[in-house]
Amino acid sequence: MASILITGCRGGIGLDVACRLLKRGHRVYATVHREASINDVRTVLKPFGDNFVVDKLDVTNAGDINKVDDWDIDILINNAAIGDSGPLEEIDPQRVEAVFETNLFSTLRLTQKVVLKLIANGAVRIIYMGSMAGVIPTHFTRPMR
């Protein structure tokens, strides 16, 4: 079975994928943005076995990204993301920069950090999760963070 790193496992799709992969016998590194979420995620995953690690991995934090050096990873699932919007004349450009930093640049840095490990393990499987918010616009949506 594979060892799979999933970012953004506090809830939603990331947590559901972690549960499903554990049920199939895979080893899961379920990561969350904040330390405070670790115990809640462990509680949800426990009924599906004990072949998992829950850890804080803020994709925008270089120290957190360095944790992957110690993990045996076969597959990377990039699920962590944030969203923001607002009226064009009011939205703070720094908030838009934060979205790009999290969803694009930080995800790229994590992927680059992990890809050589994946190649060394004999297979490269990288999955980028998306959101319906990318194709179905809603006006004035507030951030999820």
Beta strands in 1-145 (DSSP E): 3-6, 27-32, 52-56, 75-78, 125-128
- Per residue in 13-37, pLDDT (tens digit) is 999 999 999 999 999 999 999 999 9
52 φ/ψ angles, rounded to the nearest 5 degrees: -145, 160
What does the pLDDT read at residue 91?
Answer: 85
User: Is the model more confident about 138 or about 48?
Assistant: 48
- Residue 12 in domain: yes
pTM: 0.89
* CATH number (domain holding residue 81): 3.40.50.720
- Per residue in 50-106, pLDDT (tens digit) is 999 999 999 999 999 999 999 999 999 999 999 887 787 888 899 999 999 999 999
- Residue 130 in domain: yes
- Residue 139 in domain: no
Contacts of 139 (CB under 8 A, 6+ apart): 85
- Per the structure, the count of domains in the chain is 1
Host domain of residue 55: 3-134
- Residue 145 in domain: no
3-state secondary structure of 78: strand
- Residue 57 in domain: yes
- Residue 114 in domain: yes
Whether residue 130 is predicted with pLDDT greater than 60 in this model: the reply is yes
As a whole number of angstroms, the distance between CA 109 and CA 38 comes to 23
121: alpha, beta or left? (left if phi > 0; alpha if psi -120 to 50) = alpha
What does the pLDDT read at residue 134?
Answer: 61
Contact 32, 59 (CB under 8 A): no
Output the average pLDDT for the chain.
90
